[in-house]
Amino acid sequence: MQKPCVIFCCDFAATTQQSARRLGIRAKQVISSRRLLEDKFKALKRSFTDTEVPLPKFWGGSRVHLSQIEFRQGGASQLHDRFQYMRDQNDSWNIERLSP
């Protein structure tokens, strides 16, 4: 199930990531050299010395709330390792091994 959370997810990411990381996301563009990237980062860092780095306007996304997911790893002779994770009423995960 997918739930829109444009503001919540962005706010969460902004409060849990270091300011340097939030600055780095603002520098995304095609560049000609590593030096140019570092210079742009330093300039951005100086411009936010005394303030919190605001969220970029283009940030958004969705939160996916899973109730079931399966992981599968291929094996010889089609003997795959398969694990099914199912969420219960208490929001805990039950793990079951499945046959190939």
| Beta-carbon-side half-sphere exposure of residue 4 (alpha carbons within 13 Å) | 2
Domain ranges (residues) in the chain? 2-62, 66-98
The predicted model gives 30-47 an average pLDDT of 84
Strand-pairing partners, residue 2, are 64
Residue 22: the pLDDT is: 61
What's the pLDDT at 5?
47
Alpha helix (H) residue ranges in 27-74? 34-47
Nearest to 73 by CA among 48, 98, 43, 91: 98
Indicate whether 14 pLDDT > 70.
no
Work out the pLDDT band at 85, boundaries 50, 70, 90.
very high
pTM of the model: 0.42
Does residue 79 sit in helix, strand or coil? coil
Phi, psi of 64 (to 5 degrees): -105, 120
